[in-house]
Structure 1
């Protein structure tokens, strides 16, 4: 009576709370089971197939232990680690442990040197493989990417980066090439390009060449995220607002290596007038057809993601007919024991040499010639006017 007057529930006893907890746990297990069987049918098929293989291998081991030793159980254990979820994997391991115990009883006790018996080494090998497999399955479950789909997902992400790096079609007389090569022959790069036709009548080409801190796979995930964000900002903001917005986006991510360099090109396709805005990036290089010389187009601005309120000052120029504009990341010109200026001079010299031949395809040829084996991501953008 006192409990009721105090506001307590009459059934709020330890036993009642335990029963309610059991009911909640059972509902979770039931929902998980329903989700599992309604989910990917391939998971269920793989689980049943591997679970049936274990007793078949046990029979084979008992009948012909020389041809099918007890350690053969590592095969379904390894397969399960690659294909199954952790909950299914535990059941498979339990079946494998029961199979080892059955083989030990039917084959007889182990006596030193007797082949075809369940030895302590067999148990250790199967158990160690199972432990490693369970760790891998837990990691895969946390990531949420099945092993058999991981490769296709990475391939899809790589293709998305390629699509985002395409330069839109340009009017007659204008040509653009972009070449990208990740470090170490990997599939992902910390360098990327986003481009879009903006302005009235789509007569303005806006292009951003960015270099994320890190290289290869380490920077690939950040480059994918940033390329999507930069692609959304490009054309949605006035040109002078793009880099400040990109800087604020990086600062909000809170990454340990949360900085990047970028150069933003805004080109009027009618007049050839352009503006380069830089965030700690290498200067642009323009070859003037009239003089046959290269000019540095260096804008001022800090790296993205360093501090808030950064200012970015642009530099203006004009691409006349026959002129070439070249933008690149530091992987193209940076090498041990070599100054950046020397690397840029060599790059411009090789570009001059290619001007004597068909200029189409020059971006890839420049990477092959100047920076083929460097352990850094390399990106090069060429834009020229006939």
Structure 2
């Protein structure tokens, strides 16, 4: 019982740090997470910083190496570091500083993938920086489909200079971005390309079915596996 309470407290601390802020009029977001094998605790998390005066949202979705309960302590520690960095570090340096933090950890398994979004809430301009993360999906309101963003890069915590790939664009009225962890698209029975194709179609059906609960519906349809899974959607009304 005591062990279960301890895990619950760790997870609650991680979730509290990762809650997305309320966005200004014209924008909305939703997210859903489920740990490996259906556990309540996992290593996927979100850190966000909203600067209202500057009209800017910065958010990072992270997938810490490992799954389920075992990943929670490392995720909590890394989330705390990112929470301190995200409001004060320039956007182009954030993932590099996060990488340096992981390299300083004593464990050889302090590895994570991450995707960073910098969004101008006035214009809809966005910049994505990816470090080993699956490519984001971009919803076109005109085409009514999710297209693949090409950002990928290499994981953090592996080398002193990770490959961080950038991409960008502009979200118009009704457009959206979807970020997710590899547990959503990878499995023993399918490679990541097949998984992304599955997600594009599944997310299209879910999104057209209505905004409320779309992210949770996607996560619920993922085949249970050995990895945590998370989905974050940001949309312009």
Q: TM-score range by the shorter chain?
A: over 0.9
- Do the aligned residues in 1 keep the contact of 2:38 with 2:224 (CA within 8 Å)? no
Looking at structure 1, the residues matched to 49 and 36 of structure 2 have their Cα atoms a distance apart, in angstroms, of 26
Matches of 2:36 and 2:11, distance apart in 1 = 14
1:70 is matched with: none
- Secondary structure of the 1:209 match is strand
Say yes or no: does 1:271 pair with 2:120. no
Q: Write 1 or 2 for the structure with the bigger share of strand.
A: 2
- Matched residue, 1:384: 235
Quote the offset at 1:372 in angstroms.
4.4
Q: In angstroms, what is the RMSD of aligned CA positions? A: 1.6
Counterpart position of 2:71: 219
Which residue among 284, 290, 295 is the counterpart of 2:147? 295
Secondary structure in 1 matching 2:24 = coil
The alpha-carbon deviation at position 383 of structure 1 amounts to 1.0
CA offset digits 1:45-102 (Å, max 9, x no partner): xxxxxxxxxxxxxxxxxxxxxxxxxxxxxxxxxxxxxxxxxxxxxxxxxxxxxxxxxx
- Unmatched runs of 5 consecutive residues or more in structure 2: none
Q: 2:15 matched to 1:162?
A: yes
Partners of 1:244 and 1:311 within 8 A in 2: no
Give yes or no for contact 1:190–1:212 (8 Å, CA) kept in 2: yes
Deviations 1:259-291 (A, max 9, x none): 110000111111111000011110110011122
Residue of structure 2 equivalent to 1:356: 208
8 A Cα contact 1:211 1:262, kept in partner? yes
TM-score for both structures, normalised by structure 2? 0.94
Distance between the aligned counterparts of 1:245 and 1:298, measured in 2?
23
Cα shift at 1:202: 4.5
**Which protein, 1 or 2, shows the higher relative CO under an 8 Å CA cutoff with sep ≥ 6?**
2
Find the aligned partners of 1:191 and 1:231 in 2 and give their Cα distance: 15
Residue 266 of structure 1 aligns to a residue whose secondary structure is strand
Q: Which has the larger radius of gyration?
A: 1
**Equivalent-residue separation in structure 1 for 2:161 and 2:206 (angstroms):** 42
The answer for the alignment partner of 2:28 in structure 1 is 175
Three-state SS of the structure 2 residue aligned to 1:287 is: strand
Bigger share in helix = 1
Q: Which ranges of 4 or more aligned residues in structure 1 deviate by more than 6 Å?
A: none
Is the partner of 2:58 in helix, strand or coil?
strand
Task: Give the unaligned 5+ runs of structure 1.
Answer: 1-147
2:157 pairs, out of 286, 297, 305, with 305
Does the CA-based 8 Å contact 2:127-2:167 persist in structure 1? yes
State the TM-score, normalizing by the size of structure 1. 0.59
